[in-house]
Structure 1
């Protein structure tokens, strides 16, 4: 199995995430997921349909990837994605397209955004526009408490 760019960074001890060379574009999303996760497939299909180029890296165990990506334990979900070209952001879990687009247009000084767990109605979990859940900011200092980034369904 081909080593992912993120896994190469994990094994080399690098502190930064690595992306494919063509990822200078902000429309490339690299998704690290389980090969058996159907809701991850639905999420990646929606991201593709929104115009992003999606690179899928299937892995049976995502723990090392989440650790390398700096995803706090309480923010973890079923898949981890990286977007951003020169300024990499983490997108953890069933983050809606609106939150990704907001982050990429505003370029906040954060590590990324997350929808922990698998909330019903989130993108990939039914995609109900009325579903109420919170998208959290993963701060530059991932040890701090999570802060709401965007409220969905309001």
Structure 2
């Protein structure tokens, strides 16, 4: 009788195993659904003289986004039109798939937002945190910073915490 139960358990195990592998493959497919072929274009609005903005653009391009580099004469007016307050402001503003992205937000945070699709206006990394994408400087230690989710009413919550390694 004991052999019968062992046989049943083994049969169930091997019957479930393919589902487990299939479930793992599905999870991998979902995780990689935002690969470079399916990432939307990201339009980066910046002043003409900004070097860190172009470095940030290279960061998101390396992450698989196709960028549209757009020079804007009056960034403050553009920021206000997109709901960016002075407290959230950085040097450049991007727009991707209906979301606004302010400042040196890591590409991983943008991908997370696009995958989760929260009902927010967008993300912001206020100021210009040292060590953030586009703000890397040799010999200067990176600082931790928060990526904020901007609600439609302008309030913010922490979306991601970026800490130096």
Map residues 122-137 of structure 1 onto 2, 5 A cutoff: 122-126=132-136, 131-137=143-149
Q: Determine the C-alpha separation between the residues in 2 that align with 1:138 and 1:79.
A: 16
Q: Flag as ranges the 4+ runs of structure 1 deviating above 4 A.
A: 127-130
Q: Determine the C-alpha separation between the residues in 2 that align with 1:141 and 1:70.
A: 9
| TM score, norm. by length of structure 2 | 0.71
Residue aligning to 1:27: 40
Shift of residue 97, structure 1, vs aligned partner = 1.0
The alpha-carbon distance between structure 1 residues 130 and 121, as it changes in their structure 2 partners (threshold 3 A), is: closer
Is 1:91 matched with 2:101?
A: yes
Q: Where does the alignment leave 5 or more consecutive residues of structure 2 unmatched?
A: 1-37
RMSD across aligned C-alpha pairs, in angstroms? 1.9
Residue aligning to 2:53: 40
Kindly provide the CA deviation profile for residues 59-91 of structure 1, in whole angstroms up to 9, marking residues without a partner as x.
Answer: 23201110111112210100000001xxx0000
Alignment length (residue pairs): 125
**Higher relative contact order, chain-length normalized (CA < 8 Å, sep 6+):** 1
Q: Determine the C-alpha separation between the residues in 2 that align with 1:64 and 1:119.
A: 23
Q: Where does the alignment leave 5 or more consecutive residues of structure 1 unmatched?
A: 1-24
Whose helix proportion is higher, 1 or 2?
Answer: 2
The answer to whether the Cα contact below 8 Å between 1:27 and 1:51 also exists between their aligned partners in 2 is no
| TM score, norm. by length of structure 1 | 0.75
Give the secondary structure class of the aligned counterpart of 1:56. strand
